[in-house]
């Protein structure tokens, strides 16, 4: 693909930062998965929160008091995630990881597309849809056992032991981040010499503070996102183009010159 000269120069520069770096950490958000058909949360007009109030549909209190309301809201998103496939950006990032250019991936996504693309070191900050946990006996089950019935028929998943409702192991509003994942993410941010932010608006704390932790310790920063973030002014390179176009272009330059 032929890019405008300024964009190509930024791609070349970003690739050079990759080649020089010894510890690259990725921070990915919902914008990475929009080319795979999964809506993000904050884009004007298309984001999930432009249509729904998050505290009313995706909070822990809603799940506890009106789980049917949560599952009604969650079902279309679960269906999109269930059928989604990794896009060119996911696959390119996996290629960089396999070639030793990426040490770890810190993701705000619950769609498991990094893993489907073949990435190995993925730190999931907002949980996962791989498993569900019983709200009463805390028995954990594989989500694959329930996804077909939920996505196709709207059947609310129930525990095979006590028959109470199972909660997807995703972090809802009002829940704390998984402590082990948060500690790992902070450690990676503080030890990296290059952080690549892809598809994140960097509006949700505390994860939004990770790039600042990296910068404060001398790391370089590249941002690929469709809208400005609070930290663009500190970045070495910023791209507003499609992640499924820019990330493969950077990866191609890193891997093949």
In order of start, what are the domains of the chain with their CATH numbers? 1-38+85-126+177-257 (3.40.50.1220), 39-83+127-170 (3.30.1600.10)
pLDDT at 57 over 90: no
Question: In the numeric block, which tokens belong to residue 126?
Answer: 């907002």
State both tokens at 78: 């679960």
pLDDT at position 237 over 70: yes
Tell me: pLDDT of 18 over 60: yes
Worst-scoring range by mean pLDDT, 47-56, 222-231, 239-248? 47-56
% of the chain residues with pLDDT over 70: 94
pLDDT of residue 50: 47
Q: Can 126 be counted among the known catalytic residues?
A: yes
Please identify which of the residues 126, 139, 146, 191 carries the catalytic annotation: 126
By CB neighbour count within 10 A (0-12 exposed, 13-18 middle, 19+ buried), where does 153 fall? exposed
Predicted structure pTM score: 0.91
Residue 245 CA to residue 91 CA, distance in Å, equals 12
pLDDT in the model for residue 44: 53
Count Cβ neighbours within 10 Å for each residue of 71-99 and write b for 16 or more, e otherwise: bebbbebbebbbebebbbbbbbbbbbbee
pLDDT at 52 > cutoff 80: no
Mean pLDDT of 87-94: 98
pLDDT at residue 212 is higher than 70? yes
């Amino acid at each position: 693909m032929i890019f405008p000269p300024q964009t190509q120069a930024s791609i070349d520069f970003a690739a050079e930062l990759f080649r020089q770096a010894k510890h690259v950490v990725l921070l990915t958000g919902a914008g990475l998965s929009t080319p795979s058909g999964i809506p993000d949360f904050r884009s004007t007009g298309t984001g999930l929160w432009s249509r729904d109030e998050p505290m009313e549909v995706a909070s822990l209190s809603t799940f506890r008091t009106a789980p049917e309301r949560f599952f009604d809201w969650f079902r279309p998103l679960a269906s999109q995630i269930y059928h989604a496939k990794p896009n060119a950006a996911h696959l390119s990032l996996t290629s960089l990881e396999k070639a030793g250019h990426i040490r770890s991936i810190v993701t705000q996504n619950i769609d498991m597309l990094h893993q489907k693309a073949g990435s190995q070191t993925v730190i999931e900050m907002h949980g996962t849809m791989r498993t569900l946990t019983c709200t009463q006996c805390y028995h954990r089950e594989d989500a694959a056992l329930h996804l077909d019935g939920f996505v196709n028929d709207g059947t609310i998943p129930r525990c095979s032991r006590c028959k109470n409702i199972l909660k997807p192991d995703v972090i809802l509003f009002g829940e704390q981040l998984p402590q082990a994942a948060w500690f790992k993410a902070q450690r990676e941010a503080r030890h990296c010499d290059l952080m690549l932010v892809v598809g994140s608006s960097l509006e949700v704390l505390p994860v939004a503070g990770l790039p600042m932790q990296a910068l404060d310790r001398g790391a370089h920063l590249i941002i690929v996102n469709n809208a400005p973030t609070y930290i663009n002014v500190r970045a070495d390179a910023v791209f507003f183009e499609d992640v499924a176009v820019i990330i493969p272009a950077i990866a191609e330059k890193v891997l093949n010159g």
